[in-house]
């Protein structure tokens, strides 16, 4: 019998909570924009290629927001300002704040692939650039017709390639190109609503076929190892400065609450708790893995750098073995749980390099790399290669949102005689799978998918300050909860707001490696979330929440989606 290779794709779908739960407004639009471009395209690729198996990881806070948007479309009452403006019948009558919002928001995209290919959309940008140098007074001459074309083109540019091929309206509007009417915008709005309302049912249907496993992440995407213990950052960066707070108060209980909330919400949406999880950022530590095992989690995945550091620090015999990540591992103290590790090279090729290649060449190269891995395997060995990456941010760098790349890649894999795509749950359920015989790790070096460390979220002044602000808010939260001052309903709102503040995303954005506009946007949103937590606790927010955390973000405006925009 010919040797075989098991390939697991894990597409991680995540955005933080962009809602202001006090004003009840969406602050940034990235959830619904990714929904109509990336989440729909990724579902369609799987629907079009029934021979492909894989894992789709949905973070519960993302699904919460998708359901929120679906409810807005059902009611016609939009709490996202961009959708509200798309639905506005007469854009000549919008106020200055809305005009400024459209000019600020509707050019946020990858210009190379999402603006330049559309000459009439690019013309709108050229007009804006020629006027903005003259100041706000000159921009005041822009007409309602300009703004109608602008908001329409922005949403057209964000539609997925598969939807453009399915919906007659989208290519018709793109062909028309200008002078869009209120009826045109209403038609586009209806198409967007159908996409969003049908998104979760599409993935539920894919999971029902058994080809797709839906996995999860603790509810709001917290960096759980740091909630448990800041000092695990020293596992890989021993001299990293840490926050002034020595520990996140009550961290273990918060991690338990985040895990359990994810399991409950997953069961509500997909009929049962998830079999496994992709932790936020692939961030793991031994205590966190043990906590997941105790919750009933049967598998989790992380970055190959974590395994490499663990084996090296433990002087393991496999520390320099290039194939150490091609099989599952176990961790002492975490019975019943298998650990899988991301193939860094192949995942990063897909995330950062293949966009520059012709789709067929990239697909062929990827399959060729798998064939090389298989050829080097020992007799009787079935390598497990885990390709794990964002399912949303890379594709806008590809021509046609990676449509042709996926068509070629999935097509080649469907007919390949020795490479089979599978899921982690499927691997664990096979009769020939014996998790108890997988090699055992006596310990674990804490880290993430980024460099195998936790330095992206802690260890720099701005990141540490952000943690100190959260720790202070959590201390106030604990005191108020202990006092019993809040009603059960208000206590639940406060806990929801605390969970939002615990998201890893806020800490990721602080750093001079990110665009200043994006840092400013997330800086403001994080401080607003902390202020809203104090509001839920019926306390005055500290004055220091009025001051930007990142000095470089104080004068920057606008915002950006995670790791993926040009302006």
pLDDT 10s digits, 361-380: 999 999 999 999 999 999 98
In a domain, 191, yes or no: yes
In a domain, 167, yes or no: yes
Average pLDDT over residues 311-340: 85
Between 136-145, 483-492, 499-508, the lowest mean confidence (pLDDT) is in: 136-145
In a domain, 503, yes or no: yes
Q: Domain residues for 507?
A: 461-553
pLDDT over 50 (residue 557): no
In a domain, 163, yes or no: yes
Task: Show which of 169, 200, 231 is a domain's final residue.
Answer: 200
pLDDT 10s digits, 61-77: 999 999 999 999 999 99
Between 55-59, 316-320, 383-387, 392-396, the lowest mean confidence (pLDDT) is in: 316-320
Helix (H, G, I), strand (E, B) or coil at 255: helix
Average pLDDT over residues 151-160: 98
Mean pLDDT (the chain, rounded):
94
pLDDT over 70 (residue 559): no
Q: What is the DSSP letter of 352?
A: I
In a domain, 275, yes or no: no
pLDDT over 90 (residue 459): yes
Q: How confident is the model at residue 564 (pLDDT cuts 50, 70, 90)?
A: very low
| pLDDT for the residue 566 | 35
Between 273-282, 310-319, 464-473, the lowest mean confidence (pLDDT) is in: 310-319
Average pLDDT over residues 282-302: 98
In a domain, 88, yes or no: yes
Q: How far is CA 128 from the centre of its chain?
A: 31
Average pLDDT over residues 465-485: 98
pLDDT 10s digits, 252-274: 999 999 999 999 999 999 999 99
Determine the Cα–Cα distance for residues 472 and 543; give it in Å rounded to an integer: 13
Residue 142: name the closest of 185, 87, 99 by CA.
99
540: Cβ–Cβ under 8 A, 6 or more apart, which residues? 534
- Residue labelled with tokens 């999880």: 277
Between 234-248, 274-288, 356-370, 429-443, the lowest mean confidence (pLDDT) is in: 429-443
Count: domains in the chain: 2
In a domain, 420, yes or no: no
In a domain, 521, yes or no: yes
**Cβ(392)–Cβ(39) under 8 Å?**
yes
**Cβ(128)–Cβ(103) under 8 Å?**
yes
| pLDDT for the residue 556 | 37
Task: Show which of 154, 176, 200 is a domain's final residue.
Answer: 200
Partners of 273 in the beta sheet? Answer: none
pLDDT 10s digits, 390-446: 999 999 999 999 999 999 999 999 999 999 999 999 999 985 556 667 899 999 999
Number of C-beta neighbours around residue 227 at 10 A: 25
The helix (H) or strand (E) run that includes residue 273 is none
Task: Show which of 200, 216, 235 is a domain's final residue.
Answer: 200
């Amino acid at each position: 019998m010919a040797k075989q290779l098991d390939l697991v794709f894990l597409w991680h779908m995540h955005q933080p909570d962009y809602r202001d739960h006090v004003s009840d407004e969406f602050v940034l639009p990235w959830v619904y924009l990714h929904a109509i471009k990336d989440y729909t395209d990724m579902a369609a690729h799987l629907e079009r290629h029934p021979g492909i198996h894989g894992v789709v990881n949905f973070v519960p806070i993302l699904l919460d927001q998708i359901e929120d948007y679906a409810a807005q479309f059902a009611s016609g009452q939009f709490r996202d300002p961009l959708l509200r403006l798309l639905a506005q019948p007469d854009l000549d009558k919008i106020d200055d704040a809305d005009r400024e919002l459209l000019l600020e928001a509707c050019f946020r995209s990858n210009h190379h692939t999402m603006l330049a290919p559309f000459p009439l959309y690019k013309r709108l940008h050229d007009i804006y650039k020629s006027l903005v140098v003259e100041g706000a007074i000159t921009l005041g001459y822009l007409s309602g017709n300009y703004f109608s074309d602008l908001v329409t083109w922005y949403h057209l540019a964000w539609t997925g390639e598969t939807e453009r091929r399915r919906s007659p309206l989208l290519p018709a509007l793109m062909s028309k190109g200008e002078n869009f009417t209120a009826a045109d915008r209403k038609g586009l709005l209806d198409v967007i609503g159908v996409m969003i309302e049908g998104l979760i049912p599409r993935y539920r249907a894919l999971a029902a076929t058994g080809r797709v496993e839906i996995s999860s992440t603790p509810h709001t995407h917290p960096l759980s190892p740091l909630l448990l213990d800041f000092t695990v950052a020293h596992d890989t960066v021993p001299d990293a400065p840490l926050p002034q707070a020595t520990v996140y108060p009550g961290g273990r209980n918060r991690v338990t609450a985040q895990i359990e909330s994810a399991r409950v919400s997953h069961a509500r949406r997909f009929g049962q708790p998830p079999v496994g999880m992709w932790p936020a950022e692939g961030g793991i530590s031994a205590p966190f893995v043990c906590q997941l095992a105790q919750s009933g989690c049967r598998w989790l995945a992380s970055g190959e750098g974590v395994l490499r550091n663990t084996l090296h620090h433990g002087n393991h015999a496999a520390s320099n073995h290039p194939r150490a990540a091609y099989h599952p591992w176990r961790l002492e103290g975490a019975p019943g749980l298998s650990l899988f590790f991301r193939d860094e090279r192949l995942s990063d090729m897909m995330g950062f390099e293949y966009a520059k290649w012709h789709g067929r060449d990239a697909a062929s190269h990827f399959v060729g790399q798998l064939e090389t891995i298989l050829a080097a395997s020992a007799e009787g060995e079935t390598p497990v290669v885990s390709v794990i990456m964002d399912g949303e941010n890379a594709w806008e760098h590809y021509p046609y949102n990676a449509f042709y790349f996926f068509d070629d890649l999935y097509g080649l894999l469907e007919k390949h005689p020795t490479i089979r795509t599978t899921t982690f749950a499927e691997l664990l359920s096979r009769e020939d799978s014996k998790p108890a015989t997988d090699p055992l790790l006596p310990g674990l070096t804490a880290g993430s998918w980024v460099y195998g460390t936790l330095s992206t979220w802690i260890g720099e002044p701005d990141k540490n300050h952000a943690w100190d602000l959260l720790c202070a808010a959590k201390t106030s939260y604990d005191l108020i909860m202990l006092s019993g001052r809040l009603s059960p309903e208000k206590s639940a709102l406060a806990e929801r707001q605390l969970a939002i503040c615990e998201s890893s995303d806020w800490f990721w954005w602080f750093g001079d490696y990110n665009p200043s506009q994006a840092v400013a946007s997330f800086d403001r949103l994080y401080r607003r979330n902390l202020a809203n937590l104090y509001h839920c606790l019926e306390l005055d927010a500290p004055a220091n929440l009025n001051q930007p955390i990142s000095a470089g973000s104080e004068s920057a405006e606008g915002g950006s989606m995670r790791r993926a925009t040009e302006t």
